[in-house]
Structure 1
């Protein structure tokens, strides 16, 4: 299991109570992949620049895709640039992967035998692993989940001693706030446009 897969499962489990913006989740998943790649010694950070190490075998397919897509020429990519590039549509990629594995299913309408957009998690070892990690309050997972809005930022997640992880988590939070600012600006512009048409 990877942090990104655990995060996706946790947010899917929690989404029934509080919907998660797919853009926020995609940015957090890209951050989770970076954390896992750092732990696997696939890369290091030089300030906020991602410096890849020698390629090696990573067990998870999506994490392998992430490692393969690292930019390997100086001046390298910043964490922020990675989040925006890798994060594009990443939540859909994780959903598709879990559906292929049978860990997520599309729910069928009660009376009409067609699939809907609602998803359900299968009871699986991966789901139990993610739930165990979530209930234990593991700080990296908690901080990433907080970035998606699933929960409030926990104080423990602010006390991480690993500077590289802190750099990644801070970049995720900044990117999510930037995305929210873009959403708000579009809403304001949309409202202003509607008001013009209504003559207000």
Structure 2
């Protein structure tokens, strides 16, 4: 399993004080992809710039798709730019992949036993892997989850996490804060617009 898949499963399984925003999750999934691609040797970071390595096929389809979409021209893409470009709609892509692979099932209605539009995780090796990683307090997974509002415990250091991964985690945190600010600004503008119409 990959870090993005583990993060998605944790976002559906772990208790959270608020629903996880899909935009936040998509940004965090894009960050998780960068972290796994660093681990696979598909890229390195120079400061905050992504430097792709040689091309090869990765066993996970979505991670391989991420590697294929790395920009290989000059100037190099920043981690922040990658998060916004790659993250667009990424949570839906990962949900669709989990469902296609049988890790998700459509829930049935309470009174009428027909499938509803909601999905739920089924008991699977992928779910158990993510749960074990979460229970162990894996620092990368817990930091990514915290960025989208799922907290494992008190925030702490990132033991054994190299500087490149710390850079990615910081970029994810900044991007989620920026997206939240955009949402709040839109909510204020919409409320002001509604007030104008009500005042007429």
- Aligned match of 1:25: 25
What pairs up with 1:142-153 in 2 under 5 angstroms?
Answer: 142-151=142-151
Residue 155 (structure 1) shift = 3.1
Distance 1:157 1:9, change over 3 A: farther
For the residues of structure 1 that align with 2:164 and 2:181, how far apart are their CA atoms?
26
Q: Name the structure 2 match of 1:173.
A: 173
Q: Distance in 2 between matches of 1:103 and 1:153?
A: 27
TM-superposed deviation, 1:160? 5.3
Question: What is the aligned partner in structure 2 of residue 48 from structure 1?
Answer: 48
- Aligned-pair CA distance for 1:91: 0.2
Q: Equivalents in 2 of 1:28, 1:129: separation in Å?
A: 19
- Post-superposition, which runs of at least 4 consecutive aligned residues in structure 1 deviate over 6 A? none
Q: 1:62 to 1:16 in 2, by over 3 A?
A: same
Deviation at 1:115?
2.9
- Say which is worse superposed, 7-16 or 160-169, in terms of deviation: 7-16
What is the CA deviation profile of residues 31-70 of structure 1, one whole-angstrom value per residue up to 9, with x for unaligned ones? 0000000001100011111000001221100000000000
TM-score by length of 1: 0.94
Shift in alpha-carbon separation, 1:157–1:106, aligned structure 2, 3 A: farther
Matched residue, 2:140: 140
Question: Quick one: structure 1 residues 153 and 33, their matched pair in 2 at CA, closer, same or farther if it must change by over 3 Å?
Answer: farther
In 1, Cα distance between the equivalents of 2:73 and 2:197?
Answer: 51
Q: CA RMSD in A?
A: 1.7
Q: 2:109 matched to which residue of 1?
A: 109
CA shift digits 1:132-171 (9 cap, x unpaired): 0001000000000001111277433445541100110000
Q: Which shifted more, 27-36 or 113-122?
A: 113-122
Q: What's 1:94 paired with?
A: 94
Asked if the contact 1:105–1:120 (Cα under 8 Å) also holds between the matched residues in 2, the reply is yes
- Give TM-score, length-normalised by structure 2: 0.94
- Partner secondary structure for residue 120 of structure 1: strand
The match for 1:5 is: 5
Which consecutive residues of structure 1, in runs of 5 or more, have no partner in the other structure?
A: none
Give the number of equivalent residue pairs: 200
Work out the CA distance in 2 between the residues paired with 1:98 and 1:14. 17
Q: Secondary structure of the residue that 1:56 maps to in structure 2? A: coil
